[in-house]
Structure 1
Amino acid sequence: MRDIFVTLLVLGGLPFALQRPVIGGLMWVWISVMNPHTQGWGFATTFPFAQLIAGVTLLSLLKSREKNTLPMTPITVTLIMFVIWMNITTLFALIPNAAWGQWNKVMKIMLMTFVVMMVIKKREHVRQLIWVLVISLGYYGVKGGIFTARSGGNQRVWGPLGTFIGDNNALALALIMTIPLMYYLMQELPKRWMRHLMLLSMGLCALAALGSYSRGGVLAIVAMLAFMWKKSRHKMAGAALLVMLVPLALLFMPEQWSARMDTIAEYQSDGSAMGRINAWHMAFNLACDRFFGGGFSLYEPVTFAMYAPDPSGVHAAHSIYFQVLGEHGFVGLALYLTLGLLTWRYAAWIVRHSRGRADLQWATSLAAMIQASLIGFAVGGAFLSLLYWDVPYYLMVAIMVTRTVVQQQLGMVPAPVSRLRHPRAPVGHNVAPPQGRGTGPEVK
């Protein structure tokens, strides 16, 4: 039944995606982030929905009469440079066969990220994008929160198998990043019961993140909550709420959860933590030795034998920073950090120029909440291999478009207008109407 439902949703949306590229872009975000086909048990689990949606979206983009161009901002240029650099480092990969296989996956993600940049252009598009992200990730948060409540926190919450967020730690980070986005949408909901429902969903997402037993997730949620409290206009009320709710949530979790969290301060005796540190040393040593890094998929025994302090401790990077450093060298790390810095500065610009204006309150709130999400990703991502996870790139797109909309409303840049053409003029020619009394300005 689930397989049929997902199939009908996708097939039913394709005609609309073919007509409007933005719908295809939003469908791609939904299928790539939520992976709804993984919730089935039959043919849908292996059906190439993503390829189908991507193909229709690209076709729609080619045939569309709308002006769908790539916005050439500093963020866009830096991302293009990062993609080019990843292609160069793949040519010098330590393990070519594995590298080219991963290259194929990453380049598809980047291609569709640029497509989403081209089709998301208005405030309403941004709002739809945030809703798609919240629904896609919130589904697992609500489901996982209910599961944690029913089990008393005695069983771990996992994400959909075979996806970026299938691991319990990755799912925790995804849910933590979703909570600020939910808060932004909650402020725009017109009905009180809707706001209460969204607030309940936020609580379930937080409970699911705790139920994942992710130590990195706990650090990420602490950093995110501290940032949200700092940006809040009601600091006393926010502090009182945290003082009441946090102890209750911690008391709800069983003793085994507390025991696992206690190992954060005792990482030297934790095999998993020491394995990650060994992988970080390997990535750093490799980047110092090879200007182009090791390329994609370098986490093999031969690589650790060459560069790791403990050659037997073969381990994934488990850090976005050491992942990009090991795979793409110091140049790749610099480009990736520049992307994050530019996105943060764009969001700060939006908050600074929109504050105090009622018509731009939505932009202030959205930019601040995306900053909170990025804080969570920056902290939690330090312990996870989520360099190519597409959600941070979609938030980057939302910030880019929001800044453009704010600039237009402030009169800093002209709003896009359609070109007018004289009704009798041949295609490709601009003809001025005859000058005389009562005529308007020359049409250009």
Structure 2
Amino acid sequence: MSLDLTRAPVHQTALRLKNGQLRVEQYAKALLARIAARDPEVHAWAYIDHEYVLAQARKLDKIPAEKRGPLHGVPVAIKDIALTKDMPTRYNSDIYRGTTASSIDAACVATLRASGALLLGKTHSTEFAATTEGGPCVNPHNVKHTPGGSSSGSAAAVADFQVPLALGTQTGGSVVRPASYTGVYGFKATWGAISREGLAQYSITCDTPGFFARNVDDLELLAKVYDLEDIPSTKFQLQGARIGFLKTHVWDLAPAGPSLQVAWEKAKDLLTQHGAKVEEIEWPDADFEKLTKWHLAIMNGEGRSAFYGHYVLDKDNLPSFLIDQVENNNNISRLDFLEALDGSARLRPIWDRFSTQYDAIITPSVPDIAPEGLEFTGDASFCQPWSLLHAPCINLPGFAGEKGLPIGLTLVAGRYHDRQVLDTGKTIGNIFEKEGGFNSSL
């Protein structure tokens, strides 16, 4: 039986690409065929040039083995808010609809290119990665439902086997939420661990690059390329591990829906059966419940400056949501903004210390399955605290929600424990995928 390259784990395929057992052009053709067959329905891609992809693949195939980079020929999709020197960057905005390629790459894109990756194309985002209104992209598991946002196309393309890896960004819940809705791994790095230069800015306090993959080993390839280093931590062992389940205040605020409630209890049961010591835990300080309102204040405060240039350039083509931020129609005062900045800064080291009391901490990714319809990309309130706390986190897929749609849970740690999150996520994620109950029909 021949290998289906669209479904092969890329950490295995990468070895074959590097030693010449597999040609980059062959791999690219397999993915482009999948895209041609599926994307007219999924609409994951904002820009892709098949002939250009094949030309780049042939160039990579000509590189001598000894000069091939760590990601030689590995296909990666780029969220269309990152500058790319060979593809247009349009931010899903009418203001930039007709623009051509930039003269430079965003720093995180330049790292991928220098590592030998095959940049396959640009994936759909909500407008400026800031609005909650869906674009053309749908959930590949059920096209009547949203894939989430703002990294809609990146999550959908990975879930639909159109690409093995994709770049996303998270300011509120734009990596973790779509990963949960589409049933893939979505990893948000520690804030500041990966450069944001050349990415559309919303909040300098929260904007963070992240990635999508169908397994953790593939994410580890990227962690190595971006040189993510941890504060030293021990190797995760599930047997006897102390695992905290943190509902947070959002459980009642959102509130938690039926699919989340079922996944939550099943996750606790599974980890207990595998030898972990599971316990429900609470926030270590009452002020953590203020993170929701503080996140809103910071989004409004920093959104005013982030979108002011677009407002001056072409207000008529800016969505009302962003106009409201520039004009401060939400009436966020400077005192509100400063309280949010200073309050969240105080909580970060408290969270870092608290998280070390547990071998792993699990928290919800989303309130429920992906909402029906494309008008709304879903509730990010479970994700917002981790964006504001600058904590690394990963959506762990595997659970089946209503209508057969996937739902995941988040593994989170203290700052600069990115590799620990991946190592722990691999062990726990394997259990959730095998025993959580979700079976993809894709």
TM-score in terms of structure 2 length: 0.29
Give the number of the structure whose residues are more often strand, by fraction. 2
**Going by fraction, where is helix more abundant, 1 or 2?**
1
Larger radius of gyration: 1
